[in-house]
Copies of this chain bind each other. A is one copy, B any other.
Amino acid sequence: MRDFSGDHRWLSINTATVRRQRGQDWPLLQILDACAARGIRAVAPWRDQVAAAGLQATARTLRAHGIALSGYCRGGMFTDADAAEQNLRALDEACALGAPCLVLVVGALPGALAGRAQHKDIAAARAGVHDGIAALLEQARQRGMPLAIEPLHPMYAADRACINTLEQALDVCDALDPARSGALGVAVDVYHVWWDPKLQQQIARAGRERLLAFHVCDWLTPTRDLLNDRGMMGDGVIDIPRIRGWVEGAGYAGFSEVEIFSTQDWWQRDGGAVLDTCIARHRSAV
């Protein structure tokens, strides 16, 4: 297991972590400047942030700073009506930015995110997601862009993602890419999977070919909001080093990406100070 205590060369910042500080959007190009000033070598931006900054301007700024991507957020939402079109755009943007993978948040019951689920058939939603990934995988293979299925915590099964365990995600991978070609894998976010009694076993099953991204934050007690109350690494109950040890033991050697949604805490602070804390906690708590 790599020693993170001496530097932050394997730190990546998911730019949602500092997307809106104290009520004001922090523009993506400024976030990239702030990361570069701190020697942060990788980020994972969101599509809306890239759209606001401009795709080409983002690509230029990344190149100028020598900042890599640890992933691109995001494709998926296969149960939405415009999924096919949106996912092709996301693929092309990921290619333009040189992302190592397009992260997939796969969607769930249509309409549920707006509080108006059109049906209750989660098995049907899962079948639709399976077919959606299969179709997108063809396009992704043509572009050489790996797809990373991110299993989300079961508390998002209704409205955000109906793939909710690593085992389930890997079953989809095995069905659609039995050769373990590298074109299809998973993003392991400790927030979503830390509770899973089969986590260690399934990380080993995933192996190097399937482990495309590793995300960290922490689970707070109490958690006051289902979506936007994630904790900074070290402030919660997740044994992050243990999970990182399993992931690296299975062959993962990429970035550790910090992704924190925090309305009441981290989004209320100065963005630069948040980045400084991410660096410190990457070294001490990851």
How distant is the Cα of A271 from the Cα of B47 in the complex, in angstroms? 48
The chain B residue sitting closest to A121, CB to CB, is: B239
A116 to chain B, nearest CB (A): 8
Q: Which residues of B contact A122 (CB under 8 A)?
A: 194-195, 237, 239
Contact mask for chain A residues 229-266; partner B; CB cutoff 8 A; 1 contact, 0 none: 00000001111000000000000000000000000000
The chain B residue sitting closest to A114, CB to CB, is: B221
A197 touches B237 (CB 8 A): no
A165 touches B197 (CB 8 A): yes
How many copies, total? Answer: 2
| A interface SS class | loop
How distant is the Cα of A237 from the Cα of B121 in the complex, in angstroms? 8
- Asked whether A5 is an interface residue with its Cβ less than 8 Å from the other chain, the reply is no
Contact mask for chain A residues 211-227; partner B; CB cutoff 8 A; 1 contact, 0 none: 00000000101110010
Across the interface, A117 reaches (CB within 8 A) one of B126, B158, B165, B237, namely B237
B155 touches A221 (CB 8 A): no
- Asked whether A201 is an interface residue with its Cβ less than 8 Å from the other chain, the reply is no
Q: Which residues of B contact A66 (CB under 8 A)?
A: none
The chain B residue sitting closest to A241, CB to CB, is: B120
Question: Which chain A residues (77-124) contact chain B, with CB distance < 8 Å?
Answer: 109, 112-113, 115, 117, 120-122
How distant is the Cα of A126 from the Cα of B200 in the complex, in angstroms? 14
The chain B residue sitting closest to A165, CB to CB, is: B197
A-B contact pairs, 10 of them (CB 8 A): A117-B221, A122-B194, A122-B239, A155-B155, A158-B236, A158-B237, A162-B195, A164-B196, A164-B197, A222-B226
Seed contacts A122-B237, A154-B155, A157-B195; 4 additional CB < 8 Å A-B pairs:
A112-B237, A113-B221, A154-B196, A223-B226
**Residues on A facing B (Cβ under 8 Å):** 109, 112-113, 115, 117, 120-122, 126, 153-155, 157-159, 162, 164-165, 168, 194-197, 219, 221-223, 226, 236-239
